[in-house]
Amino acid sequence: MARSALLNVMTQAATKAGRSLTRDFGEVQNLQVSMKGPADYVSAADRKAEEIVFQELSRARPEWGFLMEERGAVEGRDPEHRWIVDPLDGTTNFLHGIPQFAVSIALERAGEIVAGVVFNPATDEMYTAERGGGAFSNDRRLRVAARSTLTEALIGCGAPFLGHGDHARFLYEVRNVMGGSSGIRRFGAASLDLVAVAAGRFDGFWERGLKPWDCAAGSIIVREAGGIVTDFAGGKFDHIPGDIACGNELIHKALLAELKRADDAIRMTQTSAA
């Protein structure tokens, strides 16, 4: 597959950061047995990978700004273009020696995501998409799965954790989606969950409250693989609030219906309690 100059810049930055993470991941696995634990080491690995991406992209497009997990917003001289970067999506997996993490880079142009790269250095899988150009994993064209009923579908999700999110709501959602589907999976790296939908491994995915760097790149990869990406009401997906539901047209519709049923059940419970 011949990549555009833009995607070449993005994949080179992701590859270089991924190599750094791979070296550090080996050290983290060794540190699992230590009393102190590898948390400080992982923070350093995260910052180092972000610095690599920042330097690579700044060199290629010096006027463009950034929105990064660690640095936050970095204003550029060109107000129309901004890189959205997560140098280590799946930090908790990385911390525990689980090889399910990624470098995620998206390009935002005038508020719209127009290109995305997600690189899993543990499997050497590079997922790419550019608006109107299709989605690819390395050199293989991606298409969302063609399953038509939720009962056949495997659905990915993100779960709230300590101090974050609405745990009670999530349990209602899991109950509904799990009861109507072939199964659910929670792997702990939203960017990789999204590209799993694009690759047809998952039939759908939902998560609330993602940060822009978690979902920006993955969302365009799903779209370019033929998937539907919306918010939970079926409206236009916005990577800033970060509530996302996706799948092929039929699975996406069925998934939204189950999530709505969960909302209705919550409202009924709250009304009864009042």
Q: Confirm whether residue 124 is marked as ligand binding.
A: no
> Is 214 among the annotated ligand-binding positions?
yes
The predicted structure's pLDDT at residue 1: 62
pLDDT score, position 34: 47
Residue range 5-141, CATH number: 3.30.540.10
pTM of the model: 0.93
pLDDT attached to residue 201: 98
**220, HSE (Cβ side, Cα atoms, 13 Å):** 27
The residues pairing with 178 across neighbouring beta strands, listed in sequence order, are: none
Whether the CA torsion 157, 115, 3, 223 is positive or negative: it is: positive
Amino acid 11: pLDDT: 98
pLDDT for 97 equals 86
Q: Does 86 show up as a binding residue in the annotation?
A: yes
8 Å CB contact between 158 and 246: no
CA distances from 105 to 9, 120, 182, 223, 236 (A): 11, 12, 31, 16, 21
Domain 150-269 is found in CATH 3.40.190.80: yes
Residue type, 113: I
What's the DSSP call for residue 150? G
**How confident is the prediction along the chain (274 residues), in pLDDT tens digits per residue?**
668 999 999 999 999 999 999 998 988 766 654 444 555 667 888 999 999 999 999 999 999 999 998 889 999 999 999 999 999 999 989 988 899 999 999 999 999 999 999 999 999 999 999 999 999 999 899 999 999 999 999 999 999 888 888 899 999 999 999 999 999 999 999 999 999 999 999 999 999 999 999 999 999 999 999 999 999 999 999 888 789 999 999 999 999 999 999 999 888 888 776 6
- CA–CA dist 94, 4 (Å, integer): 31
Q: Can you give the residue ranges of every domain in the chain? A: 5-141, 150-269
Tell me which residue of 207, 240, 17 sits closest to 117, measured CA to CA. Answer: 17
Q: What are phi and psi for residue 104, nearest 5 degrees?
A: -125, 125
Helix (H) or strand (E) holding 135: strand 135-137
- Tell me the C-alpha distance between 199 and 128, whole Å: 11
